[in-house]
C-alpha cells in the first residue's frame, strides 16, 4: 500500500479492470501490484539505507494484496494470473537474498497462524518463516470474527485468543520441521506477536488485558 509511489510510478499500480485507471480501496488509497519487481528493488534499497543509518532491524509491514474495495473491478498488471501466495513468497525470497546479514522481520495478519489458506491476500505463515528472522502475527483479539474458536466476542478473551492463535503458529512450525532436515529446524522463537493495547468495538483494554496477552504468549513457550 503506497499511494506516494503510485503517483511517481502509476505503471506499477493495481488497476481497474474496466478502464485501466488506478484502482483504489474503500479508503481511497491506491496500491502497488505486489508482483512489480522494480518495487522490490526499491524496498530493499530503502531497507539497506535505513540499516546503514543505524536501525538494527528492518520490519516489513503491509506485505499483501488489497482486500477492501471493488474486488470485481481489479487487475494486477504484473501478477495477473499468478498465485498470490507464490508472488509474495518470491518477494520474501528476494528480500532474504538481498539483505544479507541484516535482521529482517515481517508483519502478517493474525489469522495466518490458524488458517489453512492465504486469506485471499497472499499471506501464508509458513512461507514467511522460511525467509524472515522474525514473523510478527497481528493477533489482536478485536480483529477476530464473532464466534471465532467458539468465543462469542473474541475481543473480550485476550488470554484465550492469544494462547490459541500462537499455539496454532507453533503447531505449524512443528509440522514444517517434520519435513525439514534435523540440522536446520525452524525455531518457534521466530514468532513474535503483536499484542493489543488499544480499545475498540466497545471493549476497554488496560493493564490487565495486556498482561493477560503477555501471559498467554509466555505460556505457549514464546518469550518475546
Residues 4-38 pLDDT 10s: 999 999 999 999 999 999 999 999 999 999 999 99
| Res. 202: pLDDT tops 70 | yes
Cell of 173: 512450525
Query: Is 64 within 8 Å of 118 (Cβ atoms)?
Result: no
Average pLDDT score over residue span 135-159? 98
pLDDT at 174 over 70: yes
What is the average pLDDT score of the chain?
Answer: 96
Residues 123, 88 contacting (CB under 8 angstroms): yes
Nearest to 116 by CA among 66, 168, 155: 168
Residue 6: predicted pLDDT: 96
Q: Is the pLDDT of residue 127 over 70?
A: yes
Q: Is the pLDDT of residue 182 over 90?
A: no
Dump pLDDT digits (tens) for 80-89: 989 999 999 9
Rounded to two decimals, the pTM is 0.94
pLDDT at 181 (0 to 100)? 64
CA-angle at 25, arms to 28 and 165, nearest 5°: 125
Query: What percentage of the chain carries pLDDT values higher than 70?
Result: 99
Note the Cα 159 to chain centre separation in Å: 22
What is the secondary structure of 39-52 as a DSSP string?
A: HHHHHHHHHHHHHH
What is the pLDDT, as a whole number, of residue 184? 83
In the predicted structure, residue 179 carries a pLDDT above the cut 80 = no
CA atoms within 13 A on the CB side of 214: 8
Amino acid at each position: 500500500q503506497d499511494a506516494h509511489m503510485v503517483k511517481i510510478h502509476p505503471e506499477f499500480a493495481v488497476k481497474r479492470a474496466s478502464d485501466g485507471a488506478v484502482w483504489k480501496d474503500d479508503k481511497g488509497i491506491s496500491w502497488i501490484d505486489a508482483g512489480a519487481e522494480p518495487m522490490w528493488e526499491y524496498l530493499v534499497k530503502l531497507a539497506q539505507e535505513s540499516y546503514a543509518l543505524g536501525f538494527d532491524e528492518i520490519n516489513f509491514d503491509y506485505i499483501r494484496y488489497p482486500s477492501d474495495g471493488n474486488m470485481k473491478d481489479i487487475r494486477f498488471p504484473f501478477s495477473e494470473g499468478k498465485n498470490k501466495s507464490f508472488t509474495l513468497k518470491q518477494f520474501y525470497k528476494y528480500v532474504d537474498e538481498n539483505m544479507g546479514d541484516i535482521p529482517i522481520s515481517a508483519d502478517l495478519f493474525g489469522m495466518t497462524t490458524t488458517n489453512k489458506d492465504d486469506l485471499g491476500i497472499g499471506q501464508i505463515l509458513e512461507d514467511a518463516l522460511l525467509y524472515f528472522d522474525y514473523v510478527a502475527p497481528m493477533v489482536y483479539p478485536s480483529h477476530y470474527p464473532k464466534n471465532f474458536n467458539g468465543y462469542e466476542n473474541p475481543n473480550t478473551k485476550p488470554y484465550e485468543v492469544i494462547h490459541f492463535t500462537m499455539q496454532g503458529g507453533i503447531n505449524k512450525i512443528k509440522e514444517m520441521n517434520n519435513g525439514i532436515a534435523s540440522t536446520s529446524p525452524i525455531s518457534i522463537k521466530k514468532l513474535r506477536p503483536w499484542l493489543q493495547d488499544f480499545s475498540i468495538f466497545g471493549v476497554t483494554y488496560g493493564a490487565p488485558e495486556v498482561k493477560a496477552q503477555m501471559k498467554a504468549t509466555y505460556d505457549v513457550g514464546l518469550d518475546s
